[in-house]
Structure 1
């Protein structure tokens, strides 16, 4: 129909034509979504072993595509119809262009997921341009293969959109039914059972999730956050009562929640002294934060197999928490959690930047008590505002890749980018530059590794490929298992490298005179996600090993603790054994490490997966993940729980925490200025 003839139609007739043509193009859009889902599964099957039957995954994936198609339908129709009434050809070109752009975006998000095994959401908006450039560069950027895939998708879209719509002739009334269904889905809550995916593993659930739907939904809630925390944080019993917990969860006695929401009296519980015969001089403390060190592949009982033989051996001579949790799913959470037991604010405590409120930490409190403090990192400490946080805590020495005394040991460059120095160079720099004589001040050293970070390219790569093959033989893997594990050869090789460098670090440290007076802590900042995860809690499940020549006995501890419990326990240990000038009140989230050997959890543990994804809360044996409740099992597996009363009670507790957290986000204080002035300067 010519434009002249179209202009003579009534408004109702124009809408009928618009609805019919829109639905024809929408069917093509849905077909493209299905094709992209098929290609995504084939691509993942080639790079990773699929966690479930291909056709079962495809069925779920296509259903998620249908939901996206329905959710966006009425929104797209509104603009299409307005433009169609004015100029039909322009409306068709605009909608076809939208479909092409949507397909390109979906392809980019799929490529990101396939590489990182992470769903990309609004967390991208929480990083600076420099951080994004560094991450993309160090991870390889856009490869030729990725560009080729984009070109193929564009060509596929253009070909299908040019050829297929002319063959789709359906009554306009069918398009009307589509629009009615679209309205229903658009206004249906995202928590509807229609949109819930619950497969055997987290990897499987993420794989079938429509990546565009996840990204745009996450982005919407980032810019228009929900604030439905309808809980009175000042009520005596807003936390509620939890059933089937081994010991009562003891609450803090808060002092002034309106002005300092987390400020409380100290529990003053020293659980570590019974395990130590400390020397007269205050001990050195060395905290090694290992990038991506997850319990899934670490030490005896790891469900993916033990790929850390040295750490496994060290754990038998240590206090070893095998059911330990990181506070975050990425590195941004580790420093404020393990050193300051701090809340998350809106995008992680470090995300507050210059607005970070004054607070106490292991760093400034030990410096106040005559310790010398240092931080060593093979990468760029300005990433994620780590340097800013450390400077605000009066760190004495901050050594990152720009401050290393050598150029040996840089990780392999990819497209001209590198994360920085490998673990061997990091430990060498620390041992070379830290004082070891008895006259030196006691030391607090914090080291953050980077070798086991995406893209998992290390020096001596082939040597560790060979070790990976040898390790699979030692673990008695079948040929089929070996084939599956080779999909993650780079990841496992970097883990074996990380473990070997820790062994060399301890071998060298034993030759220093200060070794006998040092307490070592080793933990992961989070579990690396580039190897598929079995459960949601798996992302946070890391080991904690506390080793020292001063240990009087060892222990394998099954009770659950987390990063937020480390600083309170270390300070209580020092306070019980030395003259320490410490406050009577603190703002720690954590109550201290639990040393009970049996499986239990007496903590409330908020978790933050990404800078904009704070939906996990652990209380007792329960794990709340968004609107789903899980029971944590003794092996740190989990199973869904259908208990609305229990779930609501835990949700109320979590909302109470988020209300307090929001006070900090909006400029609230962590501690009184007078306390900070006395102990942090």
Structure 2
């Protein structure tokens, strides 16, 4: 019986082999065609890795890059090759089923795309020392190119190199085809592909050596991992509630006694202003406020040090000795993108992978909106559409933003066009010229954002400053390593010499004006310079100088303060010293007042936004967590890496809960209630426009465009128009609101008829959403009408709901309100 069974099984196996033989031969032939191109693809990734090795810095955060990083990196490149080969083969098989022909075109297409993308991501890493993260999905193409300076680094070599890689891909494959492959090669190749697919969930190395991880990981694999998280991350909306925030340390709140309130940021300022102890009260009334935000201004660039032996900012150095000087001032973000909300509105960091300047703005107060009696101006040489700067300043109704430049100012200097826009010297000269053109009796609030110290360092008279740097270096004693570093960063250091001189000339001209003796200057950086920093915290460390003829004496304060502390300090000083300004005592600020402690102290809790727009670094109780690693913060912001699992896990948990709190503040509009917001948010006279509930959406509508009301003709004196739609929607899924209708507006010129402006906004929940229940939502439009009301032509605003997915839009208990401001 057993012999018969074995004979039967043997016969069946022989039959099966005969049946499968043609398919196995086809599969072997198929793999034979793929192996040469898969091998050549690996070699191309190796060439990209060599390109990275040649161009990357020798160290990141003072940590030398070890050869072992690149050996491991070649293994990650092999894994990427095998994954792409698996996907390519699958596409070929599918194509064979459809057209019954073996065609390698899908394999070549996916290989060439991977070569180009991996090379681009490698260039990004070389330029920024960062893997490209969610910034890709938050910034526009032009903003991403500018942020990484990719455009300025487009050389013949950088453009031709990827083309050379593609040529190598085909040439190496052609060469490999000449070799006869043994049968075991097919088996090994197939097993490697299967292994790579099994290992796919672990495609990204994440160890304690975060610098090594950046170097080792294949740049395309890392980007795929980020993309997966971006598109398929679990929605945690349901986990946001008041109980969640109880786990947060009290230090996350400006006043712990208000932490359980619906609007937990609202708190009372101190009865007295400590800042007032250092400033004389002016007999001329409230002083002018001038805030100068210098691009990439690291603290160690201000005074002569081992890192700055050439003293590249001598004017700032001399000014610091005449000022209130805070060397340990911390920015909230590694990019410029969040600097205006942090400094001017003391706002908490926005939700993950967002910037407040670019999201639907939650209601908030700012230094500009609160100082209604001041004439506010914003100067920046960059196109103000960059990261939505114009909309943010318009929302706060800045009286003047520089939009037009006189012919005497130019982006082209010395025959070279400035990559970013107008250079710093012209920026300051423009403000001096405007002072002469537009006299204003009110005190002024000027905000400057410089740019010349940003890569690619296209500043005027570059040869002059490079020569000056060379002269400085010849007069000092420095080590060969220091000389090599100065030479390597010569264009960067020269840009600081240029901006320092631009600041010196600005102060020289400003000192001749009659209101100079009644002006307080605040000079700080938007963040540190990542190319020069030696420790992780230096990416955020920037100095703050407060200079004024009203200053009683100069002093240095070494305790940690932050961007978020500036506006609370200024507001409370003006509130206490000049009560005629009628400033509020209750404010919705995330920051506290500056710490005027001479000894080093770290009493701030500061969530920090990384270069890839994630709030993933934290300063808490003399500790810093960076990339999941724990450091002790010692005097002068010296970091010592330590291992303490309990503290590290606590900080990880605190950071996670804070991220939910940030969503609560921003996505549910919980910074400031509507009525309190309106008390100080707008200048001028309020004009109520009459509206009625919208019957169509109360009953439900599936139309793609739903009218909300009649068009509004913009009146000549109007500065601002607000339209607000509130109501309730029934929620069946947490993602419902993402697919819900948008509120759109267009500004239309009446004669001749044409659209001149268009905008779109999403709705916000008013409370953490609940499934299978009615939830309150709000649409808000804030339209700056000044540029249209001042013109002779007639304009009107048309507003409506856009329902692209033709869902049933039902908003019950809805109310529509319009307000114009003169």
TM-score by length of 2: 0.72
Q: Is the 8 A contact 1:47 1:487 kept in 2?
A: no
In structure 2, the partner of 1:394 is 397
Q: Matched residues in 2 for 1:464 and 1:47: separation?
A: 27
Equivalent residue of 1:444, what SS?
strand
Q: 1:534 to 1:136 in 2, by over 3 A?
A: closer
Q: Matched residues in 2 for 1:469 and 1:49: separation?
A: 26
Q: 1:88 to 1:573 in 2, by over 3 A?
A: farther
Q: 1:501 to 1:226 in 2, by over 3 A?
A: farther
In structure 1, the partner of 2:167 is 155
In structure 1, the partner of 2:538 is 538
Q: Among 187, 201, 212, which residue is 2:220 paired with?
A: 212
1:8-407 correspondence runs (5 A): 9=21, 25-44=37-56, 52=64, 55-66=67-78, 68-69=80-81, 78-79=90-91, 82=94, 90=102, 92-129=104-141, 131=143, 139-140=151-152, 142-164=154-176, 167=179, 169=182, 170-188=184-202, 190=204, 192-193=206-207, 197-199=209-211, 206-226=214-234, 233-234=242-243, 237-240=246-249, 251-254=255-258, 257-258=261-262, 260=263, 262-266=265-269, 270-280=273-283, 281-301=285-305, 303-305=307-309, 306-343=311-348, 344-345=350-351, 346-352=353-359, 355-367=360-372, 370-399=373-402, 402-407=403-408
Q: 1:535 to 1:503 in 2, by over 3 A?
A: same
Q: 1:67 to 1:321 in 2, by over 3 A?
A: farther
Deviation digits for residues 600-634 of structure 1 (CA, Å, limit 9, x no counterpart): 22122122224633322221222223433333333
Q: Matched residues in 2 for 1:293 and 1:214: separation?
A: 30
How far the C-alpha of 1:485 sits from its partner, in A, is: 2.7
Q: Matched residues in 2 for 1:50 and 1:563: separation?
A: 26
Deviation digits for residues 513-548 of structure 1 (CA, Å, limit 9, x no counterpart): 22221111111112233x254333222121111111
Q: Is the 8 A contact 2:368 2:445 kept in 1?
A: yes
Q: Is the 8 A contact 2:300 2:307 kept in 1?
A: yes
List alignment gaps of at least 5 residues for structure 2.
Answer: 1-17, 683-822
Q: Matched residues in 1 for 2:257 and 2:96: separation?
A: 64
Q: Which has the higher contact order (CA 8 A, sep 6+)?
A: 1
Q: Matched residues in 2 for 1:640 and 1:47: separation?
A: 17
Q: Is the 8 A contact 1:526 1:541 kept in 2?
A: yes
Q: Is the 8 A contact 2:608 2:615 kept in 1?
A: yes
Q: Is the 8 A contact 2:523 2:546 kept in 1?
A: yes
Q: Is the 8 A contact 1:121 1:218 kept in 2?
A: yes
Q: Matched residues in 1 for 2:324 and 2:235: separation?
A: 41
Q: Which moved more, 1:513-522 or 1:292-301?
A: 292-301
In structure 2, the partner of 1:658 is 659
Q: Matched residues in 2 for 1:412 and 1:48: separation?
A: 34
Q: Which moved more, 1:43-52 or 1:429-438?
A: 43-52
Q: Which moved more, 1:54-63 or 1:503-512?
A: 54-63
Equivalent residue of 1:253, what SS?
helix
How far the C-alpha of 1:361 sits from its partner, in A, is: 0.3
Q: Is the 8 A contact 2:254 2:589 kept in 1?
A: no
Deviation digits for residues 549-593 of structure 1 (CA, Å, limit 9, x no counterpart): 222222222211111111011111112211032234322111221
Q: Is the 8 A contact 1:437 1:514 kept in 2?
A: no
Q: 1:131 to 1:190 in 2, by over 3 A?
A: closer
Q: 1:475 to 1:616 in 2, by over 3 A?
A: farther
Equivalent residue of 2:636, what SS?
coil
Equivalent residue of 1:421, what SS?
coil
Q: 1:626 to 1:17 in 2, by over 3 A?
A: farther
Q: Matched residues in 2 for 1:73 and 1:266: separation?
A: 62
Deviation digits for residues 621-662 of structure 1 (CA, Å, limit 9, x no counterpart): 222234333333333343433222212222222222211222
In structure 1, the partner of 2:779 is none
Deviation digits for residues 69-117 of structure 1 (CA, Å, limit 9, x no counterpart): 5676765665466557778984644334323321222222223333444
Aligned residues: 658
Q: Which moved more, 1:320-329 or 1:631-640?
A: 631-640
Q: Over aligned residue pairs, what C-alpha RMSD do you find?
A: 3.7
Q: Matched residues in 2 for 1:241 and 1:406: separation?
A: 54
Equivalent residue of 1:534, what SS?
coil
Q: Matched residues in 2 for 1:583 and 1:500: separation?
A: 39
In structure 1, the partner of 2:741 is none
Q: 1:438 to 1:410 in 2, by over 3 A?
A: closer
Q: Which moved more, 1:425-434 or 1:205-214?
A: 205-214
Q: Matched residues in 2 for 1:670 and 1:422: separation?
A: 36
Q: Matched residues in 1 for 2:467 and 2:414: separation?
A: 22
TM-score by length of 1: 0.86
How far the C-alpha of 1:175 sits from its partner, in A, is: 3.5
Q: Which moved more, 1:658-667 or 1:170-179?
A: 170-179
Deviation digits for residues 99-145 of structure 1 (CA, Å, limit 9, x no counterpart): 33212222222233334444433313322355457668994373322
Q: In the alignment, is residue 607 of structure 1 matched against residue 614 of structure 2?
A: no
Q: Is the 8 A contact 2:128 2:148 kept in 1?
A: no
In structure 2, the partner of 1:245 is none
Larger helix proportion, structure 1 or 2?
Answer: 1
In structure 1, the partner of 2:707 is none
In structure 2, the partner of 1:3 is none
Equivalent residue of 1:607, what SS?
strand
Q: Which has the larger radius of gyration?
A: 2
Q: Is the 8 A contact 2:253 2:265 kept in 1?
A: no
Q: Matched residues in 2 for 1:209 and 1:321: separation?
A: 38
Q: Is the 8 A contact 1:285 1:519 kept in 2?
A: yes
Equivalent residue of 1:467, what SS?
helix
Larger strand proportion, structure 1 or 2?
Answer: 2
How far the C-alpha of 1:391 sits from its partner, in A, is: 1.0
Equivalent residue of 2:635, what SS?
coil
How far the C-alpha of 1:447 sits from its partner, in A, is: 0.7
Q: 1:110 to 1:188 in 2, by over 3 A?
A: closer
Q: Is the 8 A contact 1:140 1:414 kept in 2?
A: no
